[in-house]
Structure 1
Amino acid sequence: MIGRLPPKSFCLIRHGETTANRDGLIAGRLDVPLTEVGRAQAQSLSARHWPSRYQLFSSPMARAVETCTLGFPAQDFQIVADTHERDWGIFEGRPIAELPARAGRPEQGEDWAEMIDRVAAALQDCGRRAGDKLPILICHSGVIRAARILAGQDTTGTRPPNATPIFFNWTGTGHQEAPRDISTPETLRNF
């Protein structure tokens, strides 16, 4: 059963570049480190304009936690266990060219529909914990793709860029993925 997103705006940020991203490998649940480029990407988040009231969350995976720590220095954040990346089973560590179809369950891995439900529940939890603040979650490509499906998009879209905010604006009846360059002082008043 496909879950629902929280009835509020939120922001998802994919972690900085990892060694697996750089080398074209499927990382999924492998806890791969950030590259130097990834660390610089993460640090660049600290120079962006953010709303005055937000609640920061992170996937438990090291690449997300490090991105969160570098991008939001000295900010408290909460770990949300169910925002980890998809388990690609026997495909973990293989070249990205061998990535199986997203739909279904890769051998010894996590079913796509189950991941969507997991992500829906985790984002609902973040929304509740954030209260009247904007939830900002450092997560993974698969989490963002699941959120796109939950927002009613027809496809998962292209792979989200590393360390780039993606806003899901609550319209009152659903979510609209907002442009990635929306984090300016003027546009953040809407979040």
Structure 2
Amino acid sequence: MAVRAVVIEADGGSRGNPGPAGYGAVVRDPETGEVLAERSAGIGTATNNVAEYRGLIAGLEAAAELGAAEVEARMDSKLVVEQMCGRWQIKHPGLRPLAAQAAGLVGRFAAVRFTWIPRERNRHADALANAAMDAAAAGAAAPTGTARTGTATLGGAPTAGTAPTGTATVGTAPSGQQAAVAKATGTDPATTPASWEPRPTEEGTRLILVRHGETERTVQKRYSGRGDVPLTERGRAQAEATAARVAELAPSVAAVVSSPLCRCTATAEAVAARVGNPPVRTDDDLIECDFGVWEGHTFAEVREGWAGELDAWLASTRVSPPEGESFTAVAERTGRAVDRLRSAYPGETVVVVSHVSPIKLVLRDALAAGDAFLHRLYLDTAGVSVLDLYPDGGVAVRSVNDTSHLGDL
């Protein structure tokens, strides 16, 4: 039986950006929350934004198959919501054909509303997307979508109160935007070449990535993960020098975000004091890798005591140290942190103070590099890297491991 109104929850992502990608979409009864249909698939190598659009398209297709007249599409991708509502331009050529396809589907319904929701309110679609990414990363065949048709007779559009509470951007896709998007042309977004088209920096979010200053463990070249070790006297001097460098790079800083460990917060506080004293906010997703039982040991000690485990760890980012955390897991959480900053601070500069592993992984993904990059890149204590993140998903890496400010420190 055809339904009157449905809610779509859609998501997508990639392991790396680009990397093995997948999407998930759930169609629900807006009154009861009953799941009426699910869609998920791996899509090969693609960016997060491409996968998010594919999730929206799959959800709209499922809603059309159910005969829905009115749709509320809920996503935690501010980019897709804002572009589909016509408030943000679609500059990336790889997203234009997907936006055109979504706009064509929107035109099949009497009304479509787009709502931004926090990631934690999109867990079902996120889980479907992650399962599809797991299959894509493993080289398995992409799963086909599944659908469950409900027997309930649904009435009316979603009433007030059916949308989740909390911060939301809500709008209806205007017909003029649909027409403009529908004219966009392009090739398969997964294979579209990168563009040399100049980008206006002010439209992007600039991240200034700072590794914390020196600690006793960095001097002794010991694995230093979750242990909360303080800066040395030299490390504090490095933090002050880095603060001066950041102030040169960014006359205006919207936020300073730090790993919760004290070697980072001390560095972050020094930076904040030089750039107008924005509050230092901590983010657990920026914490160093958990090195498990290797914590506090040197590489030589680990080689002597855990030779087989060390070889396996060095060979694959999916392998964890004993009782520790894999670099794949670290990349997932740092990716979440970067996505939040891109959404929260459009067109602004944010200083991110973290550790060697998270910063390496952010740079690896920004440069679309392979895992060998992690072993070939050296990041000094108090080194500074800069990258720009654009609303259309574009990335520009401007500097890596700048230590010009440290002198003899």
Give the TM interval when normalised to the shorter protein: 0.7 to 0.9
Between the aligned partners of 2:278 and 2:393, the Cα distance in structure 1 is 32
Aligned to 2:251: 52
Q: Greater CA radius of gyration, 1 or 2?
A: 2
Rounded Cα–Cα distance in structure 1 between residues aligned with 2:346 and 2:395? 18
Q: Which residue of 2 aligns with 1:144?
A: 359
Which of 332, 335, 340 lines up with 1:125 in the alignment? 340
Amino acid at match of 1:23: Q
Q: CA deviation at 1:131?
A: 3.5
Equivalent residue letter for 2:15: I
Deviations, residues 149-186 of structure 1 (Å, cap 9, x unaligned): 22112312423111121012347664343234599xxx
**Equivalent residue, structure 1, for 2:214:** 17
The residue type equivalent to 1:51 in the other structure is: A
Aligned ranges for residues 1-191 of structure 1 at < 5 Å?
2=15, 4=17, 8-48=205-245, 49-54=248-253, 55-73=255-273, 74-97=277-300, 98=302, 100=310, 101=314, 103=317, 104-151=319-366, 152-154=368-370, 155-156=373-374, 157-170=376-389, 174-180=394-400, 181=402
Q: 1:90 to 1:2 in 2, by over 3 A?
A: same
One-letter identity of the residue aligned with 1:28: G
1:103-145 CA-to-partner distances (Å, cap 9, x unmatched) read: 2111100122111111100111122232331121000000111
Give how far 1:53 is off: 2.9
- Aligned partners of 2:403, 2:325: CA distance in 1, in Å? 33
Q: Contact conserved, 1:57 with 1:126, CA < 8 A, in 2?
A: no
TM-score by length of 1: 0.84
**2:379 corresponds to which letter in structure 1?**
P
CA distance in 1, matches of 2:355, 2:334: 11
Cα distance, 1:10 vs. partner? 1.5
Q: Is contact 1:64-1:138 (8 Å) kept?
A: yes
Q: Contact 2:205/2:345 (CA < 8 Å) preserved in 1?
A: no
RMSD, matched Cα: 2.5
Contact 1:45 1:72 in 2 (8 A): no
Which amino acid in 2 is paired with 1:65? Answer: T
Deviates more, 1:122-131 or 1:87-96: 122-131
- Work out whether residues 168 and 176 of structure 1, in 8 Å CA contact, stay in contact via their aligned partners in 2: yes
Structure (1/2) with the larger strand percentage: 2
Q: Give the count of matched residue pairs.
A: 183
Q: Flag structure 1 segments of 5+ consecutive residues without an equivalent.
A: 184-191
Task: Write out the 4+ residue segments of structure 1 that deviate beyond 6 Å after TM superposition.
Answer: none
CA distance in 1 between counterparts of 2:360 and 2:271 reads 22
CA distance in 2, matches of 1:174, 1:116: 18
Specify the SS of the correspondent of 2:267: helix
Residues 222, 296 of structure 2: 8 Å contact kept: yes
In 1, distance between residues paired with 2:399 and 2:346? Answer: 24
Which deviates more from structure 2 when the two are superposed, residues 54-63 or residues 161-170?
161-170
Between stretches 157-166 and 24-33, larger displacement belongs to 157-166
Q: In 1, Cα distance between the equivalents of 2:256 and 2:388? A: 17
Distance in 2 between the 1:46 and 1:149 partners? Answer: 25
| Residue identity opposite 2:344 in structure 1 | R
Alignment partner of 2:353: what SS?
Answer: strand
Percent identity over the alignment is 25
Q: TM-score, normalised by structure 2?
A: 0.41
CA distance, structure 2, for counterparts of residue 96 and residue 34 of structure 1 = 21
- Aligned partners of 2:206 and 2:347 also within 8 Å: no
